[in-house]
Chain A
Amino acid sequence: MATIRVFDAPNNRYFTVTVDFATSVLDYVGGAVTDMASDYYIKISTSMTKPSGVAFPKFVVRTLADVAPGADVAVCFTDLVDGYIDYFITYAELGQSSSSSSSSSSSSSFGITSSSSSSSSYGVTSDSSSSSSSHPLLP
């Protein structure tokens, strides 16, 4: 299991993104009932919340195409996890001014050095996207 700490420097507080590996039968994948065979998958969740206070859903990752909403298909697990971290930080609106809830390109830096590379761990340049796509979620 990987636990990523995200430091919200302006507010001196920490959030976590948890990436856990699990096995079980999954009931639904992509909106369809599964074959009920035992499956292996990664669960991604976060303690960050949206500005409204609503929690983010937990995401189930079975393939490298199960990326964060609006993200491109990942080349590797690092790209995939970084995409989720970017997504959570962007939609939690951490480090953004209250007047810019969505912009075409925004940079956020938190605690640890960030870079524009998609392989960075924290607070990277994020491309906000308001599009949503169907995605395997845990209930």
Chain B
Amino acid sequence: MAINVNIYSNANNSTRTVSFDFVGEVMIPSDLLGAPDHCEQYYFKVTTSARQDNNATYPLKIVRSLAATPTNVASLVLNGRVQSRTNTASAYTSVRDMIEDYLYDFVVGHTANQFESGCSEQRPMKFT
């Protein structure tokens, strides 16, 4: 079951939704780290129809693990390597911790290479 998390902006009196779904699928990863695995893999898919404040859409996010290592499954929100809220490279302590950091990053956004993570820029979420 996908869980839709509503984010309400009091200043704008509007709500945006982020969906977290846990799936089991054969996945061809876009980064092709290592050989594609033909076996079923299990991971979170994070999607939203919300827009960044420059009207850009958000790319699909895949969460394969709660940690920054090993590289092929690293899933901290900033390029797999760093948490957005805390600027740490430590693993998320729980699924809830992971979800809260992803939500934080959607709402607040981040600069290119924030915290030296190598991430690309993501603008704050648009609520207007």
Contact = CB atoms under 8 A, between A and B. Distances in A.
Interface stretch (B7-15, B48-56, B88-96, B107-115): B88-96
B65 A64 contact: yes
Interface of A: 1-4, 19-23, 39-42, 61-64, 75-78, 80-81, 115, 117, 119-121
B70 interface: yes
Given A64-B66, A78-B43, A2 B23 contact: yes
Nearest to B3: A23
Please list the 8 inter-chain residue pairs (A to B) with the smallest Cβ-Cβ separation, ordered nearest first. A2-B24, A21-B22, A76-B65, A76-B73, A121-B40, A81-B42, A77-B42, A40-B96
Contacts of B42: 2, 19, 77-78, 80-81
Contacts of A120: 39
Contact of A4 (B2, B40, B91): B40
A22 B3 contact: yes
23 contacts: A1-B21, A4-B40, A20-B22, A21-B2, A21-B22, A23-B3, A40-B99, A61-B95, A63-B66, A63-B93, A63-B94, A75-B73, A76-B64, A76-B73, A76-B75, A77-B41, A77-B43, A78-B42, A78-B64, A80-B42, A119-B37, A120-B39, A121-B39
B24 A40 contact: no
Instruction: Indicate the member of A75, A78, A80, A117 with the most B CB atoms within 10 Å.
Output: A78
B32 interface: no
Contacts of A2: 22-25, 42
A71 to B, nearest CB: 14
A42 B24 contact: no
B92 to A, nearest CB: 8
A70 to B, nearest CB: 19
Contact of A64 (B20, B22, B41, B67): B67
A1 B96 contact: no
B60 interface: no
A77 B64 CA distance: 6
A62 B65 contact: no
A20 B44 CA distance: 11
Contacts of A20: 1, 22
Nearest to B75: A76
Contact of A62 (B40, B44, B70, B96): B96
Contacts of A40: 3, 20, 94-96, 99
A59 to B, nearest CB: 13
